[in-house]
């Protein structure tokens, strides 16, 4: 009888152990599942945060690099007008002015694309914040006009930039280029090379996407870059159009080819294609994030 009870007790204890073991296993598996789920959620949040950082950096890059290009051209325009002050209709002045108008068209195109491809509430807020910062920078640059670093004409161009590129809603706008006076006999190829070319490099965008960070320039840093651009333009003017020369040159055989590669309309098409491809790439990245 005693042996029979031991057998029953042994069976009961064994059954209880199996129950506890199974219960522990179930709890462990459930716990592991919850941990994995939490890890996946954390990874998703991390990726989402990184994507937001990346998109913010790209928006900042487009906004401030575009603004820098405009300021560069405005400063460059000052030195061109000073160099040819006795010849207000010199082709260099007209070309310099056309490059500003071209840049205003490019800015409008870029900001139109930014508005169209960044529809989320968060991206719109980022874009609006950076635009407000740029407008604040422009206000600070009023001192440059008072100090004659920039003239009233440049102030008018900045107003056009604010009106057609800095608003909350961007309407498509292309500015007309001034016709060149064909009576001048000058070397168009040399003239175009005076002005440093504006270009976006794919490597900069790739690097930005890896870093997920863009260092926003201060108004002083933007002015320093523009002044460097101004000095570069002045040096090239002195080399190609010395002040003791009558500032005209005879055309050369390759002038037409150089003009074709570097004239404002050609540059606008090239630049617009680049900007659209970069914005499109940014848009595709956003769509992938949604899935």
The arithmetic mean of pLDDT across residues 199-214, rounded, is 69
pLDDT band at 266 (very low <50, low <70, confident <90, very high): very low
Residue 231 in tokens: 């000095």
CA atoms within 13 A on the CB side of 145: 15
pLDDT at residue 255, rounded to an integer: 36
Residue with more model confidence, 240 or 245: 240
Residue with more model confidence, 250 or 64: 64
- Residue 28 Cα distances to 18, 22, 287, angstroms: 15, 10, 38
Closest CA relative to residue 96, chosen from 84, 107, 86, 108: 84
Distant-in-sequence, close-in-space partners of 97: CB < 8 Å, separation ≥ 6: 77, 178
pLDDT at residue 119, rounded to an integer: 84
How confident is the prediction for the chain on average, in pLDDT? 74
Residue 29 in tokens: 């598996």
Residue 270 in tokens: 């090239």
Residues 165-176: pLDDT tens digits?
999 888 889 999
d(CA 275, CA 238): 33
pLDDT at residue 63, rounded to an integer: 96
The arithmetic mean of pLDDT across residues 242-246, rounded, is 65
Domains of the chain: which residue ranges?
44-290
Percent of the chain with pLDDT over 70: 56
Residues 97-142: pLDDT tens digits?
999 999 999 999 999 999 998 888 899 999 999 999 999 999 988 7
Dihedral sign for Cα atoms in the order 151, 156, 158, 159: positive
The arithmetic mean of pLDDT across residues 180-202, rounded, is 53
pLDDT at residue 262, rounded to an integer: 43
């Amino acid at each position: 009888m005693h042996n029979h009870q031991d057998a029953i007790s042994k069976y009961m204890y064994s059954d209880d152990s199996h129950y506890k073991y199974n219960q522990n296993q179930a709890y462990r598996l459930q716990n592991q599942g919850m941990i994995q789920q939490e890890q996946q959620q954390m990874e998703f949040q991390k990726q989402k945060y990184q994507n937001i950082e990346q998109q913010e950096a790209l928006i900042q890059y487009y906004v401030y690099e575009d603004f820098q290009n405009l300021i560069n051209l405005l400063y460059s325009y000052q030195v061109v007008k000073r160099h040819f002050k006795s010849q207000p209709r010199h082709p260099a002045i007209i070309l310099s002015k056309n490059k500003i108008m071209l840049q205003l068209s490019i800015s409008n195109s870029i900001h139109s694309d930014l508005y169209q491809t960044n529809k989320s509430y968060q991206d719109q807020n980022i874009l609006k914040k950076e635009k407000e910062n740029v407008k604040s920078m422009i206000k600070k640059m009023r001192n440059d006009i008072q100090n004659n670093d920039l003239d009233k004409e440049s102030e008018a161009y900045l107003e056009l930039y604010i009106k057609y590129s800095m608003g909350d809603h961007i309407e498509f706008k292309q500015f007309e280029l001034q016709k060149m006076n064909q009576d001048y006999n000058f070397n168009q190829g040399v003239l175009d090379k005076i002005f440093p070319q504006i270009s976006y490099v794919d490597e900069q965008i790739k690097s930005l996407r890896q870093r997920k960070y863009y260092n926003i320039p201060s108004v002083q840093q933007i002015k320093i870059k523009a002044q460097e651009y101004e000095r570069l333009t002045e040096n090239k003017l002195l080399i190609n159009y010395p002040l003791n020369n009558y500032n005209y040159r005879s055309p050369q055989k390759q002038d037409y080819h150089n003009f074709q590669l570097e004239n404002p309309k050609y540059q606008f098409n090239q630049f617009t294609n680049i900007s659209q491809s970069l914005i499109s790439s940014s848009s595709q990245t956003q769509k992938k994030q949604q899935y």
